[in-house]
Amino acid sequence: MMKTIAFFNNKGGVGKTSLVYHLAFMLGELGARVLCADLDPQANLSTMFVGEERLEAIFDDDAPGRTIRSCLDPILEGIGDILEARVEKSAISPNVALIVGDIALNDFEDRLSDSWTKTLAGDPAALRALTAFSRIVAEAANRWEADFAFIDVGPNLGALNRAALIAADYVVIPLAPDLFSLRGLRNLGPRLNDWRAGWQRRLDENVSVSYTLPNGRMLPLGYVVLQHAVRLDRPVRAHERWMERIPSTYHASVVGDDVSLLQAPLSDEASDPACLASIKNYRSLMPLAQDARK
């Protein structure tokens, strides 16, 4: 059964998009089929995936469904429902594909904010808008026969990301060992819980619709730490104290009192079962990898 995983942190610069990109191709090399959905208006994942020249051609194309934003045209114009997304196949791996992002996706923010309130009253147009991302990704993933759908979102807690996270079965939280990443984590955990509970209320109010509604599970899988520069294979001392505080902050803010998310006791990120990986800082290697789209 296909799994949808969102990569989310309201703090930027933590390697989120690079993680999505490289993890997709790692799984592709293992034989899994992965569909990436770029739901970040900055469209950095799309740039990494196809390059600026190809991306410009896609933006200039008038074909329906060429980007995630164009899939929403009928909803925004009030003339219909979502369009089928065009799947951009990777030139590197036959097992990886992309739903292209678009800076114009910001046009949808106000509509989503308004729809969140209206769905409690059973407004069908609001519900179609709020579930648009989920239905676009699910249809494209089914057509692509994907094993995984990865969702890349921007670093904020706005209505766009709330609608994107509704589509996610699971959430991976990329982090950096610094003050702002930890403070962002304290905000992110409670907001995820609020969104999950809010969506459940809306599911209860909208049980009789002709299409499948997402479960909005948003179950945190854990976090990935992007290390700062290293000396003699050890993190820079200034960041060690932030690294040591990540496990307790994650469990207090994201897991909280929810026993369904509770994991084993921990002392540091190396022994924390919620720490999925700790990634080295590869300095100038990352820009080279991006240029080569690898």
Tens digit of each residue's pLDDT (9 = 90 or more) over 113-159: 999 999 998 899 999 999 999 999 999 999 999 999 999 999 999 99
Residue 256 domain-assigned?
no
Q: pLDDT category, 281, cuts 50, 70, 90?
A: low
Residue 231 domain-assigned?
no
Phi then psi dihedrals of residue 217, to 5 deg? -65, -45
* Mean pLDDT in residue range 283-287: 52
Residue found by looking up tokens 């703090």 in the block: 11
Predicted confidence at residue 257, as pLDDT, reads 59
Bridge partners, residue 279, by sequence: 226
Exposure string for 76-100, b = 16+ CB within 10 A, e = fewer:
eeeeeebbebbbbebeebebbbbbb
Handedness of CA 180, 18, 248, 227 (dihedral sign): negative
Q: What are the residues whose beta carbons fall under 8 Å from the beta carbon of 257, sequence distance 6 or more?
A: none
Residue 265 domain-assigned?
no
Q: Which domain holds residue 185?
A: 3-225
Residue 156 domain-assigned?
yes
Bridge partners, residue 4, by sequence: 149
Contacts of the segment 63-67: beta carbons below 8 A, 24+ positions apart: 66/100, 67/99, 67/100, 67/101, 67/102, 67/104
Predicted confidence at residue 210, as pLDDT, reads 85
Residue 95 domain-assigned?
yes
Residue with the larger pLDDT of the pair 148 and 91 = 148
Predicted confidence at residue 259, as pLDDT, reads 45
Cα 128 to the chain's mean position, in Å?
20
Residue 247 domain-assigned?
no
Residue 177 domain-assigned?
yes
Overall domain count for the chain: 1
At 188-242, the pLDDT tens digits run 999 999 999 999 999 998 778 889 999 999 999 999 998 765 555 555 566 677 7
CATH number at residue 141: 3.40.50.300
At 19-76, the pLDDT tens digits run 999 999 999 999 999 999 999 999 999 999 999 999 999 999 989 999 999 999 999 9
Return the closest-CA partner of residue 7 out of 89, 41, 102, 15.
15
- CB burial of residue 155 (10 Å; 0-12, 13-18, 19+): middle
Residue found by looking up tokens 């403070």 in the block: 183
Exposure string for 206-242, b = 16+ CB within 10 A, e = fewer:
beeeeeebbbbebebbbbbbbbbeeeeeebeeebeeb
Predicted confidence at residue 183, as pLDDT, reads 87
Residue 209 domain-assigned?
yes
